[in-house]
């Protein structure tokens, strides 16, 4: 896997007969991921909060892949009720799922709380994906070679990124958007690596891996403040930053490699060769992401908050 030839879309294998779930597939990196999976023949379930946007995404994909199978699944990761309803629909329709890509994410300028009482960014980026993965775990374990890919972010490795198990919902700390987002993305990596450690203890071919896109040109900046958006899109700064920003397709490549490369092993982490841009290579996630005590504490807190307890018996379902 460490050769000098870059891994590109040409390396995505034939995926006919495989079924993938991509969360947040209606735009940006999720849309590119879904499109490229569909181009290789996978049935791609577009798991999105807005079914209207998902339908538009499906139409866009079918322009390039007319025969694409693109069922739409309504999934609002900020709502535990929606997460459970979506999982129930998958259980009713499928006997197994080959791939889950936990891609959806958000960033908020100000603190808000969901109907479940969770801070919204943590709920959307970690607690929702955690519960959704647990609720469809038996379907993933039933696949011949299932994978769970969790999409992280370079912000998880910042020195200012801290995950405080006693203040997960930012009730006592000053709410700073990028730090809150960074905490949620660190939680993503802790979850992915802890999931693999638990899978190592049982007889299963399911693996958990992680990826991060670097800096890609998507509509994610809509979550930033208007002032910061104006600064980042100013013509001069845009020109200066262009060498450090890659296309959405390039940003999706680490996820696609983690999802489809036959040589991938559980617990690996992929990102751009140049850290912010470039073709996908094995990457390091930083010490905090591999903190066993922190991972175990987060797992326990996530099960307690969501009420979803992972059952690693392949014949069971939540």
How confident is the model over 91-121, as pLDDT tens digits? 999 999 999 999 999 999 999 999 999 999 9
Determine the pLDDT at residue 191: 98
**Confidence grade of residue 251 (pLDDT, cut at 50, 70, 90):** very high
Q: Which of 181, 44, 25 is nearest to 104 (CA)?
A: 25
CA 192, 224, 126 angle in degrees (round to 5)? 20
Tally of CB atoms within 10 A around 164: 11
Determine the pLDDT at residue 247: 85
Tally of CB atoms within 10 A around 65: 17
Domains of the chain: 15-220+248-306 (3.40.50.720)
For the stretch 136-165, pLDDT in tens is 999 999 999 999 999 998 764 555 678 999
Contact 72, 36 (CB under 8 A): no
d(CA 173, CA 168): 10
Residue 264, CA distances (Å) to 146, 188, 221, 222, 260 in order: 12, 19, 31, 33, 8
Question: Is it the case that residue 217 has pLDDT exceeding 70?
Answer: no
Contact 116, 80 (CB under 8 A): yes
Question: Is it the case that residue 1 has pLDDT exceeding 60?
Answer: no
For the stretch 283-298, pLDDT in tens is 988 899 999 999 999 9
Question: Is it the case that residue 221 has pLDDT exceeding 90?
Answer: no
Contact 252, 29 (CB under 8 A): yes
Name the active-site residue from 94, 158, 175, 181.
181
Total-model pTM:
0.90
Determine the pLDDT at residue 34: 98
Residue 181 catalytic? yes
Task: Specify the DSSP class assigned to residue 289.
Answer: G
Who's near 242: CB < 8 A, 6+ residues apart? none
């Amino acid at each position: 896997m460490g050769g000098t030839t870059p891994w590109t879309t040409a390396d995505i294998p034939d995926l006919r007969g495989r079924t993938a779930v991509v969360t947040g597939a209606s735009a940006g990196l999720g849309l590119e991921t879904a499109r490229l999976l569909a181009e290789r023949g996978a049935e791609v379930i577009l798991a999105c909060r807005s079914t209207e946007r998902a339908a538009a995404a499906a139409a866009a994909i079918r322009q390039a892949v007319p025969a694409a199978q693109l069922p739409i699944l309504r999934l609002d990761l900020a709502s535990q009720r929606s997460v459970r309803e979506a999982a129930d629909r998958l259980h009713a329709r499928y006997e197994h799922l080959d791939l889950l890509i936990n891609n959806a994410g958000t960033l908020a300028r100000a603190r808000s709380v969901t109907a479940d009482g969770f801070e919204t960014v943590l709920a959307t980026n970690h607690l929702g994906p955690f519960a959704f993965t647990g609720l469809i775990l038996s379907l993933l374990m039933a696949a011949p070679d299932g994978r769970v890919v969790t999409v992280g972010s370079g912000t998880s490795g910042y020195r200012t990124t801290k995950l405080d198990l006693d203040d997960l919902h930012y009730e006592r700390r000053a709410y700073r958007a990028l730090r809150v987002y960074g905490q949620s993305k660190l939680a993503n990596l802790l979850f992915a690596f802890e999931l693999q450690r638990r899978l190592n203890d049982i007889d299963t071919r399911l693996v958990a891996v992680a990826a991060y896109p670097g800096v890609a040109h998507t509509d994610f900046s809509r979550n930033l403040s208007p002032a910061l958006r104006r600064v980042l899109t100013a013509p001069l700064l845009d020109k200066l930053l262009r060498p450090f920003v890659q296309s959405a397709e390039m940003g999706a490549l680490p996820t696609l490699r983690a999802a489809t490369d036959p040589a991938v092993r559980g617990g690996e982490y992929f990102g751009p060769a140049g850290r912010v841009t470039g073709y996908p290579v094995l990457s390091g996630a930083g010490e905090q992401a591999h903190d066993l005590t922190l991972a175990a504490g987060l797992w326990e807190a996530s099960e307690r908050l969501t009420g979803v307890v992972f059952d690693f018996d392949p014949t069971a379902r939540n």
